[in-house]
Structure formats: structure tokens, C-alpha cells
């Protein structure tokens, strides 16, 4: 893992992805123009921040890391994956489309998801140059966002045995107590998950989203040696936005990737 500071922006990078031909950027919250609960590098137009400030944040990100085009979509905690190879790349239009993942073989186009406790997952088939990104929160994981991102790669001729996966910052189980209703959803999806994906502590369950992501990847045939976990908790560290730590009022940080 690399930690880069450039013109006030801070971002982390997965070295296996870099070595395999995918630029990647897991941003922290520093270096932007937003203020208050959205300080500083809020990348979401849907949390109450000033639109002009968010646009300035996008411009700075593109300039600093050299992205001519950065595509994000309207995330809804679902399981739909957008095939960018079939879409005209008009950033403003794509932002309004409801998806929680993207896949592409186009070069020099950044694909990004916005997170503030949910995990960003980047997937790369380095041999066939197929890149995908997914927004992995509790609802999306249960709905099948990871499986659909993998299917989107194989639909383009990708091979899961060649895949490299990188997992950015998200909430750790210590920071994620949940109730019975949420646990029941995960019991249905992961019947063997007790003690790993969830566990009871101090009169509450604690949910381990990362363990759930690893479980889905393992079920799909992806080995641990194919996964680069950056090991960052968005809630533990003030370096990141956290919906849970901020009690629901927070900005969103960007995770983005691009084929060389």
C-alpha cells in the first residue's frame, strides 16, 4: 500500500493493481474546498453540500491525478453494474443513473464510487484489461453487487483466476454494532457466517462487512492471494468521512481506478 500526499490531497494506492496496469486512488477527506461536516474533499452532490464546492473538488482531483474524465453514478445500495463500454461518456448524465458498480475496457477513463463506511472494491483482469469497481455496503452485499461485478467482467471474456481485487477503506466490525433485523439478512445470505461475519458482543451484534466481502469472493473462486486489503477503517480514522461516526451527516470520499 502506498500513501501519497499531493497538493493537499491524500490518497492510498494498491501496489498489486498499479503493477498490473491499473491506476487507483482511495482518497482521504483532506485537501478539498468543502466545509463543516463535509470538510474538505466531499465528492457527493447528495449530502447537502454546496454544489459549486463539490464541482471544485472534482476539478482538483482530476487535475492532481491527471484524469481527463472521471465517471461516478447515483449509488442506491443496489446490485446493478453499468457497462461503460455501451454508454456515451457524459459525466453529468451518468451521475444521475442508478448503479452501484461499473465495468469498462476503455483506457484513460476513471471510474469511481463514493463511500463513507461502505467498502470500495476494485477488480481487474490484467491480461484482458477489464476493470470494474463496486460500492459494497451491507444492502449491496446481500443484494449481490459483488457477484454482478464479477459477472460483468466474465461477460467481457475475463477470467476470475486472473483477477486482482483491492479493498479500500470501510467500517470495521468494532465500529459497526447492528440489530437483529440486519443480522437476519446476513444469516439468510451467509448461513455459515456466525463468528466470522457477525458476532454478539455487549448486548449487540457487530457486523464485519469485510469478512462478508471476502466470503463472496471466496465463494466465487477468488483466492486470498488475489486480494489486496488496504486495511483501513473509515470510522476509526478521522482521515476519512464516516456516516456512522458523524451520526449521519458526513461527506463522501472517492475511490477511483483507471486502466493505463
d(CA 81, CA 87): 12
Locate the domains of the chain by residue range: 2-171+233-259
Residue 129 grid cell: 484489461
Range list of H helices, 190-251: 209-219
Tell me the β-bridge partners of 27. 11
3-class DSSP state for residue 183? helix
- Mind listing the pLDDT tens digit of every residue in the chain (260 residues)? 999 999 999 999 999 999 999 999 999 999 999 999 999 999 999 999 999 999 999 999 999 999 888 999 999 999 999 999 987 666 555 677 899 999 999 998 999 999 999 999 999 999 999 999 999 999 999 999 999 999 999 999 999 999 999 999 999 999 999 999 999 999 999 999 999 999 987 778 999 999 999 999 999 999 999 999 999 999 999 999 999 999 999 999 999 999 99
Instruction: Quickly name the fold that domain 2-171+233-259 has.
Output: 3.60.140
Q: For residue 141, report the phi and psi dihedrals to the nearest 5 degrees.
A: -60, -45
Omega cis (within 30) before 26: no
d(CA 150, CA 72): 19
Amino acid at each position: 500500500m502506498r500513501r501519497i500526499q499531493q497538493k493537499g490531497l491524500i490518497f492510498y494506492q494498491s501496489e498489486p493493481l498499479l503493477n498490473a496496469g491499473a491506476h487507483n486512488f482511495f482518497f482521504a477527506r483532506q485537501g478539498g474546498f468543502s466545509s463543516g461536516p463535509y470538510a474538505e474533499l466531499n465528492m457527493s452532490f447528495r449530502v447537502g453540500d454546496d454544489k459549486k464546492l463539490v464541482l471544485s473538488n472534482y476539478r482538483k482531483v482530476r487535475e492532481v491525478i491527471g484524469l481527463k474524465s472521471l465517471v461516478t453514478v447515483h449509488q442506491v445500495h443496489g446490485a446493478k453494474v453499468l457497462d461503460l463500454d455501451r454508454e456515451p461518456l457524459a459525466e453529468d448524465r451518468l451521475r444521475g443513473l442508478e448503479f452501484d458498480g461499473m465495468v469498462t475496457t476503455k483506457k484513460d477513463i476513471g471510474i469511481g464510487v463514493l463511500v463513507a463506511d461502505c467498502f470500495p472494491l476494485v477488480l481487474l483482469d490484467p491480461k484482458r484489461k477489464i476493470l470494474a469497481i463496486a460500492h459494497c455496503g451491507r444492502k449491496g452485499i446481500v443484494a449481490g453487487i459483488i457477484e454482478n461485478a464479477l459477472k460483468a467482467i466474465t461477460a467481457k471474456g475475463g477470467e476470475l483466476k486472473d483477477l486482482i481485487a483491492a479493498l479500500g477503506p470501510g467500517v470495521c466490525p468494532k465500529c459497526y454494532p447492528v440489530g437483529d433485523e440486519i443480522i437476519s439478512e446476513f444469516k439468510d445470505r451467509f448461513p455459515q457466517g456466525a463468528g466470522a461475519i457477525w458476532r454478539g458482543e455487549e448486548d449487540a451484534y457487530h457486523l464485519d462487512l469485510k469478512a462478508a466481502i471476502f466470503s463472496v469472493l471466496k465463494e466465487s473462486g477468488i483466492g486470498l492471494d488475489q486480494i489486496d486489503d488496504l486495511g483501513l477503517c473509515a470510522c476509526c480514522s478521522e482521515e476519512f468521512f464516516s456516516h456512522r461516526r458523524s451520526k449521519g451527516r458526513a461527506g463522501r470520499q472517492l475511490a477511483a481506478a483507471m486502466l493505463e
